[in-house]
Amino acid sequence: MKNIPGVDLSDFLSGDAERKQKFIKEIGEAYEEIGFVALRGHFLSDELIENLYKEVKFFFDLPDEIKQSYEIEGIGGQRGYTSFGKESAKGKKEGDLKEFWHFGQEVEGNEALKAKYPKNIIVKEIPNFNIVGMESYKMLEKTAIYVLRALALYIGLDEMYFDQYVINGNSILRPIYYPPIVGEPKGAVRAAVHGDINLITLLMGASSAGLQVQNKKGEWIPLNYLPEQLLVNVGDMLERLSNNKLRSTKYRVVNPPREDWGKPRYSIPFFTHPISEMKLDCLPECIDELRPKVYDEITAGEFLNERLRELGLIK
């Protein structure tokens, strides 16, 4: 992994205090420096990843009229299908050259919270699509919980600090399809420069290259990581909470060379969101004379709605 540190979650889970502390230090320092790590030792099996990509390809190969029947108005794209070009990066008028699906939380043990979330949309044409999608969701959510436990310790919080907010949180699993490029894009790219809204994002290996991250010098670094690794980055919510101690780094997905325009691209990120009531106030542990508080108070739900409006997903 050139320029992007690699870490192993099994160190954190080992029961060995020295290995656990090694993981906490490595991931914390990486998030202060670049905002991305390549993570191995997660809870997704190779078989599950293979099955998920298979089901995702089945869905995006469906005729447009069938896919569009799963596009639900009035929920800001939180569940089901979002059609090609509908989402754009903050400050950019051109829509990204992509379409996507959203799996959301299946709440357990909290009926009041369950009623607040939109229901997942069942794709009747593909029997295993929702089964495999939600199995992947749970394994990614489990991985995210342990990463956040490590970050809580790095910041100086109780290890379980984030559990109360992300267990049954408003997390999203987003399979993305970038179709073959037909004709000159006219300023549009597969995913324009942006940072993620959420706490952390977990991304399994994409089907082709194109992902780039911006370092502190403003240079764009191509990211190519191993199939057994997840790319895990800090989102804007965690950057706010940590008062810019942990960095939400800008990234993009560039268009391929013209000779590869005919090749599609698939990508599957998991956006780890907390419950809407979580306050994104700068943590006292991250405020001092050298790092004064830089953000106003806001809840996760308010912040999410603000950003969805900027992305054009809600009015």
Summarize the confidence of residues 137-164 as an average pLDDT.
98
Name which of 179, 178, 191, 169 is nearest 270 in CA terms.
169
Question: Cβ contacts of residue 277 below 8 Å, gap of 6+?
Answer: 299, 300, 301
Q: Which residue has the higher pLDDT, 310 or 237?
A: 237
Q: Output the pLDDT for position 250.
A: 83
Summarize the confidence of residues 160-189 as an average pLDDT.
86
Name which of 276, 195, 197 is nearest 237 in CA terms.
197
Q: How many CA atoms lie within 13 A of 20 on its CB side?
A: 10
Instruction: Work out the pLDDT band at 187, boundaries 50, 70, 90.
Output: low
Question: Cβ contacts of residue 288 below 8 Å, gap of 6+?
Answer: none
Q: Which residue has the higher pLDDT, 88 or 46?
A: 46
Lowest model confidence (mean pLDDT) among 12-16, 38-42, 189-193: 189-193
**Which amino acid makes up residue 20?**
K
**Sequence ranges of the domains in the chain:** 6-310
Options 3.40.50.880, 1.20.1250.20, 3.40.50.2300, 2.60.120.330; CATH for 6-310 is 2.60.120.330
258-281 burial code (b ≥16 CB/10 A, e <16)? eeeeeeebbbbbbbbbbbbebebb
End-to-end CA distance of the chain: 40
Q: Output the pLDDT for position 226.
A: 73
- Burial grade of 236 (CB within 10 A; 0-12, 13-18, 19 or more): middle
pLDDT above 60: residue 193: yes
Instruction: Work out the pLDDT band at 1, boundaries 50, 70, 90.
Output: very low
pTM of whole model > 0.95? no
Instruction: Work out the pLDDT band at 227, boundaries 50, 70, 90.
Output: confident
pLDDT digits over 60-114, tens only?
999 999 999 999 988 878 899 999 867 655 555 556 678 999 999 999 989 999 9
Dmax (CA) for the chain in angstroms is 58
Q: Output the pLDDT for position 219.
A: 81
Mean pLDDT of the chain: 88
Summarize the confidence of residues 123-152 as an average pLDDT.
98
- Paired sense of beta strands 191-194 and 265-272, if any: unpaired
The span from the CA of 255 to the CA of 88, in Å, is 15
pLDDT digits over 256-274, tens only?
677 778 788 898 999 999 9
pLDDT digits over 280-289, tens only?
999 999 999 9
One DSSP character per residue, the chain reads --SS-EEEHHHHHSS-HHHHHHHHHHHHHHHHHTSEEEEES-S--HHHHHHHHHHHHHHHTS-HHHHHTTB-TTTTT-SEEE-TT----TT--SPPS-EEEEEE----S-HHHHHHSPPPPP-TTSTTHHHHHHHHHHHHHHHHHHHHHHHHHHHTS-TTTTHHHHTT---EE--EEEPPP-S--TT--SEEEE--SSSEEEEEPPSS--EEEE-TTS-EEE----TT-EEEEE-HHHHHHTTTSS----EEEPPPPGGGTTS-EEEEEEEE---TT-B-PPPGGG-SSSS-------BHHHHHHHHHHHTTS--
Lowest model confidence (mean pLDDT) among 89-103, 125-139, 196-210: 89-103
Q: What percent of the chain has pLDDT over 90?
A: 65
Q: What is the CA radius of gyration of the chain?
A: 19
